[in-house]
Structure 1
Amino acid sequence: MTRLDVRGHLRHTLVGTGGVFRDSIALDRGKVMVWQAVYRGAVVTGLVAGAIALGVPENALGLGAGALFVALAGEFQPIGRRWRLMLWTLLWSMLGAYLGGLVSHYALLGVAVAAVVALVCGFVGVAGPGAGIAGLLTLVIFTVFCGIPENPVDALNTALLMGLGGLVQFVAIVVPVMLRNRSVVLSGGEQPVPLLRRLRPHLRLDDLMLRHGIRLAVAIAIATSLGEVSRLPNQYWIPMTVAWMSRPDAAGTVTRVTGRIIGTVLGVLLSIVLLDLAGRQPQPYAFAAIVGVGTVIALVFIWAEYPLAVMGVTVLVIALLALLGESADQSALPRVVDTLVAAVITVACTFLLRPRRG
């Protein structure tokens, strides 16, 4: 891309900043899901509280992540198709967590594998919205556990905990529907086209999603390398945030970046307030309750208002870290700084790696 092209893209972006900001805070009321979010958030909270009750709060992350990801998979799809998407998303997320843990001790290998995983997860969106969500969540969980050093046994344990949490959420969502109308659950609708057949026509360099996968691979590699070199606390936050922010198109990416920054700041502020209300030495179950609050907020707004969903995710992550012994003061400000760094990486890769004109 020439310098003139870059300036043109940036000028277009700056001129549209007001519109992007409005898009970032525009609530889609038709996609606000309150009761579903409360129900599914209660499952996540129950799993976290269960880990605390059993004396293994360190298992809360895997259990909660599995339950949260299953709750996100296949939304707005008929239940006969959705339950399949939930299981596939859970399976791929477990593999992402396991692979991330396996390479977490090897800096160069971790960067290389992260780039490959990002390429695949970014490109797989051509297979449809369900595959795109599964790819995004797989990349997110890979970046998290790639930044948390684990041995192979611990990595497998984490993946299995995710599977357990996801299956609990799966049962909570599917079984009530099955009890009311079993035939609706068992009907899968039209036979889906095999995945490889859907991907093959897009294996060309001018394809939007393949270019997105390549840009995402570069951005994730840079973010992962930065975490490895700097040895920042919770070094996974930067590549994880890049994964959440990146979109196939430039306008969508800028909107997502804006929303992410707004949501992170709001989430940090809300986390500080909630943890302060819990007292100077809160009981572990107070952290579980705050995780529940964050989860419900995230699930209510995830499809309707991205900044508010990010606020919820930030709250639940900070609460989980507090449960594991990290104070809010230690995790709050770094979350904002890491998000800003991730925003710079994401926007730079979006505009500097766009194809040349003409």
Structure 2
Amino acid sequence: MSLINEIGRGTIAVEKAQIALTNPLRSSVVILIGVGCAIGVGEPLATLPLAIGALFVQMDDPGGPFSRRATVMLWASVWMALATLVGGLVSNDFATHFVIAIPIAFVCAYASAAGPRASLTGVLCLVCFSIFSGTPIELLDSFTNAELLLLGGLLQTLVTISPWPLRRANGIRSDFAIFFRGLAHACSTSNLEIISSSHATRLQLAIDDLAVYENDSKGELWFKRLADNGREVRFGLLGLAATRDEISNPTSRKIMDDLIYSVGDVFQSIALTLVWHWRHQRLLAARERLLIIEGKARARAQEIDPSLIDAVIVPLLALAETAAGPWPLGRASGIHFFDSRRKPLGPMLRAHWRRNDVFFLHAVRLTLSFLVAVSLAQLLDLPHSYWMPMTVAWISKPDLSGTTMRIVSRIFGTLLGVFLIGLAFSIFVPNDLGLALIIGFGGFVVLVFLFSNYALAVTGITIFALTLFELIGDPVNETIGMRIVSTVTAGVIVFIVALLIPNRSGSKVELVLSEMVNDLDNYSDKILRSIDDRNGELSSDRKNLLHQRDLAAAAITAATYEVGHHSMRPADATYLFNILNSATAWCVAAEIAHTSAIDIAAHNQISREVAELRARLLSIHNNEAHLDRGHSSKVDHPFHQLIRNAHLILNKDI
């Protein structure tokens, strides 16, 4: 039941930092205009390729510099148009369809080796091939469909990059806004969210996009101030959160909670200001509220360390000033119109051309699943034979955990979308304009939740697809049952193939946790001995620890959603990870406050128990005889208590 519960929680979890409304609203208007124009000229069949092109190309928008967005979206338009053309040409001959599907499915899946964006492009191309090779409605000819899909993609691309000449760096500002929204959400929830590794990942994505600037240009220096202060405030917040649970006085604890909440309010205001500069008045008001709470916190210096307050407030105020002040963007920003960075695809693709490689195996699994779905749809003579292979294309992922989550999310989202459309159409029968509005709404839902909750994104794509086919003459109420059955069947096919050729990315949980403990040992050893960072060793150890923490978090997430036996129960691995995360945060707080020195005997005791913890994890990973924990005297130290709690988790798990 725990696996089912975890999958259920993962299905409904929403990553709020990824939710933005501006781009989805603009893109849905483009979809609506395209559909409206096709209806207006009396060509309702043209709405299918136009709307699909406009939606799918926007889904492939990578964000960041406009040059990269234009390149990715234009190439995506071309590849999807070609997939549409080929799908239409083979639609009337099953034998040809089956043979051509083999290389197309394999190539589209193997594109994952070139990165996440190429992976999404491959999926969308395979979906286009599925739709136009198995649609029961008599559509326009194959070349016209491909041209219209290309037109829809080009229109969406042009609208997306229309602010490019202004050189206001909309995409990079949005990247930073996502980072600050994530911190804002964390401050309003729990310490576990604050010390999550996802914040560092989001910040690094924003930093990676700064290469479109000239060296030391005004725009680059402005963004670097955002990045540097963002890194500092995240580091300080990590330390501040670590001490919150140590405050026993209720009044002081309330002030600490208010302080962290006010910090989150400033983060949220910074995110809004980076998207819309006219919202800077809200940021200034949030800053004033923060200063009031800061004064109350400093009055409790005996319980709330002033150095920890400084580590957050100083860079946060600098961030507020940078975001609310004049932006050195525009013509004088030093932004290149074209980003010269290009990673050659050949070496990346060749590096994974091995039979045991994760992406090669993913291509094999998807190809096999796709062919089974195509054959089964043909054998059962399904009127909408595209739905089952299309679903296979959507839900197949390189690892078992990702595939499991996609299957459940796809089924849940499809059921919800079908229910909403069925309910709406049972209450009223919309005219063509009403259908166009529903199509635009479906596209809006897809784009809002695409990276924050896949199940809700599927709900949007279901609304979009069913209404689109209703518009071109395929009644929704007559096909709802078939679509649900096809979705579930596709999920079963993909799951069986994933079990037959598995890739369990969560199988090394104990190993990555042991490496995290090792890096924690190196970092904490210097903290407990009060070694300064004169030679940069402390910073290096901290960086290694935080990187290993990211790997451990990914492995545990994968193990949580993978069926089968685990040497360590995923729930216990999560508890252990949270304890190690808290120990990491304590070390950060101690580094900031310079209050960590202990006597030699206590230090040696803690070091022995940390080393013992790593040895026990390795013994679990290697399926060796369980190492009993040796007897030790209790050291009255918060870091030692966390290590003892970690040992208790292993005692429970064995």
Q: 1:43 to 1:109 in 2, by over 3 A?
A: same
Aligned with residue 228 of structure 1, among 366, 373, 378? 378
Residues 70 and 157 in structure 2, CA contact (< 8 A), matched pair in contact too: yes
- CA distance in 1 between counterparts of 2:120 and 2:337 reads 22
Distance 2:6 2:99 in 1: 37
> Which stretches of structure 1, 4 residues or more, deviate above 4 A after TM superposition?
149-153, 180-185
SS in 2 for 1:55: coil
Counterpart of 1:17 in structure 2 is 4
AA of the residue aligned to 1:340: V
- Return the alpha-carbon distance in structure 2 between the equivalents of residues 151 and 103 of structure 1: 14
Structure 1: distance between partners of 2:64 and 2:107: 23
The question of 1:323 aligning with 2:471 is answered yes
C-alpha distance in 1 between matches for 2:5 and 2:106: 31
Tell me the SS of whatever aligns to 2:42: coil
1:245 aligns with one of 387, 395, 403: 395
Return 103-112 or 83-92, whichever deviates more: 103-112
What letter matches 2:363 in structure 1? Answer: G
| Distance in 2 between residues matched to 1:99 and 1:245, nearest whole Å | 22
1:16 aligned counterpart, secondary structure: helix
- CA drift at 1:15: 5.3
Letter in 2 for 1:220: F
In the alignment, what sits opposite 1:339? 487
1:259–1:49 distance in 2 versus 1, CA, 3 Å: same
Match of 2:422 among 263, 272, 292: 272
Unpaired runs of at least 5, structure 1:
1-13
User: How far apart, CA to CA, are the structure 2 residues paired with 1:284 and 1:211?
Assistant: 45
Q: Name the counterpart of 1:219.
A: 369
Alignment of 1:349 with 2:500, yes or no, is no
Deviation larger for 224-233 or 70-79: 70-79
The range that moved more, 254-263 or 222-231, is: 222-231
The Cα shift of 1:184 comes to 4.5
Per the alignment, residue 93 of structure 1 pairs with 80
Structure number with greater CO (CA < 8 Å, separation at least 6) is 1
Q: Is the 8 A contact 2:114 2:345 kept in 1?
A: yes
Pairwise CA RMSD:
2.1
> Which sits farther off after the overlay, 104-113 or 63-72?
104-113
**Is the CA contact 2:400–2:503 (under 8 Å) kept in the aligned structure 1?**
no
Change (3 A) 1:260 1:152: closer
1:51-105 per-residue CA deviation (whole Å, 9 max, x = no partner) reads: 1111000000100011011111133343221110001111110111011111111
Cα distance in 1 for partners of 2:403, 2:336 equals: 36
Partner SS state of residue 172, structure 1: helix
Find the residue that maps to 2:373 and give its secondary structure.
helix
Q: Which residue of 2 aligns with 1:110?
A: 97
Partner of 2:636: none
**Displacement of 1:275:** 2.6
Contact preservation (8 Å) 1:34, 1:300: yes
Measure the CA separation in 2 of the matches of 1:245 and 1:154. 29
1:204 matched to 2:354? The reply is yes
Q: How far apart in 1 are the matches of 2:336 and 2:11?
A: 35
Letter in 2 for 1:98: L
Aligned residues of 2:137 and 2:473 also touching (Cα < 8 A): no
Output the CA distance in 2 between the equivalents of 1:290 and 1:185: 39
Taking the TM superposition and a 5 Å limit, the aligned residue runs for 1:125-136 are 125-136=112-123
1:291 and 2:439 correspond = yes
Say if 1:101 and 1:148, in contact at 8 Å, map to a contact too: no
By how many angstroms is 1:18 displaced?
1.8
1:189 to 1:28, Cα distance in 2 relative to 1, 3 A: farther
Moved more, 347-356 or 127-136: 347-356
For structure 2, list consecutive stretches of 5 or more residues without a partner in the other structure. Answer: 169-330, 508-654
Aligned in 2, Cα 1:170/1:185: closer, same or farther, shift over 3 Å? farther
Deviation at 1:233, TM superposition (A): 1.6
The answer on whether the counterparts of 2:358 and 2:398 sit within 8 Å (CA) in structure 1 is: yes
- Alignment partner of 1:154 is 2:304: no
**Partner Cα distance (1:124, 1:234) in 2:** 27
**Structure 2 partner of 1:4:** none
- Would the aligned equivalents of 2:62 and 2:68 in 1 still touch at CA under 8 Å? no
- More moved, 64-73 vs 207-216: 64-73
1:332: Cα distance to partner?
Answer: 1.9
TM-score (norm 1): 0.90
Distance 2:137 2:420 in 1: 31
Matched residue type, 2:337: L
The aligned amino acid for 1:31 is Q
1:30 Cα deviation after fit:
0.9
Deviation at 1:174, TM superposition (A): 0.5
Q: Secondary structure at the match of 2:141?
A: helix
Equivalent AA in structure 2 for residue 126 of structure 1: A
Kept in 2: contact 1:24–1:258 (CA 8 A): yes
Deviation at 1:106, TM superposition (A): 1.3
Q: 1:302 aligns with which of 422, 440, 450?
A: 450
Q: 1:149 and 1:100 mapped to 2: Cα distance?
A: 13
Residues 129-181 of structure 1: per-residue CA shift (max 9 Å, x gap) = 22111111111101111113799981111000001111111111101233455
Contact 2:25–2:444 (8 Å) recurs in 1: yes
CA distance in 2, matches of 1:315, 1:187: 37
Contact 1:21 1:255 in 2 (8 A): no
Q: Please tell me whether the aligned partners of residues 101 and 150 of structure 1 are also in contact (alpha carbons under 8 angstroms).
A: no
Deviates more, 1:90-99 or 1:330-339: 330-339
Deviation, structure 1 residue 328: 2.0
* Alpha-carbon separation, structure 2, partners of 1:314 and 1:135: 20
| Cα distance in 1, alignment partners of residues 395 and 72 from structure 2 | 22
The 3-state SS of whatever aligns with 2:62 is: coil
Amino acid at match of 1:212: H
The answer to whether the 8 A contact 2:87-2:129 is kept is yes
Q: Secondary structure at the match of 2:34?
A: helix
Question: Residue 383 of structure 2: SS of its match in structure 1?
Answer: coil
* Distance 1:273-1:149 versus aligned 2 partners, 3 A rule: closer
What is the letter of the counterpart of residue 76 of structure 1?
G
1:53–1:26: structure 2 CA closer, same or farther, 3 Å change rule?
same
2:277 equivalent in structure 1: none
Structure 1 pair 204–317 and aligned structure 2 pair: CA distance change class (3 A):
same
Alignment partners' CA distance in 2, 1:248 and 1:330? 35
Is the 1:110–1:146 Cα contact (8 Å) retained in structure 2? yes
The residue number in structure 2 matching 1:188 is 339
Distance in 2, Cα, partners of 1:132 & 1:223: 20
Q: Structure 2 CA distance, aligned partners of 1:130 and 1:204?
A: 21
Using the size of structure 2 for normalisation, the TM-score is: 0.50
1:122 and 2:109 correspond: yes
Q: Which amino acid aligns with 1:41?
A: S
